[in-house]
Amino acid sequence: MIKYVTGRLLSMIPVLIGVTIVVFLLAKLIPGDPAQSILGADATPEAIDALREEMGLNDSILSQYGSWLINILQGDLGFSYTLSADIASELLPRFINTLILTAASLFICIVVGVFLGALSAIKNGRLFDKVSMAIAMIGASIPVFWIALMLMWVFSIQINLFPVGGMYNMRNPGGLFDLVSHLVLPAFATATVSIAVIARLSRNTMLETLQKDYIHYFHSFGIADRKINIRHALRNSLPPIINIAGLQVGYILGGALFSEVVFNWPGIGQQLYVAITSNDYAMIQGGILLIAISVVCINALVDILNVALSPKLRDSL
pLDDT value at position 154?
Answer: 93
Tell me the pLDDT tens digit for each residue of 5-42. 888 888 888 888 888 888 888 777 777 777 777 777 77
Are 91 and 287 contacting, i.e. CB atoms less than 8 angstroms apart? yes
On the CB side of 130, how many CA atoms lie within 13 Å of its CA? 3
Which pTM does this prediction carry? 0.78
Are 110 and 245 contacting, i.e. CB atoms less than 8 angstroms apart? yes
pLDDT value at position 313?
Answer: 67
pLDDT value at position 10?
Answer: 86
Are 286 and 87 contacting, i.e. CB atoms less than 8 angstroms apart? yes
Can you tell me the distance from the alpha carbon of 250 to that of 263, in angstroms, rounded to the nearest whole number? 20
pLDDT value at position 311?
Answer: 67
Q: Taking the CA atoms of 152, 155, 160 and 163 in sequence, report the sign of the dihedral they define.
A: negative
Which residues of the chain are modeled with pLDDT < 70? 310-314, 316-317
pLDDT value at position 81?
Answer: 74
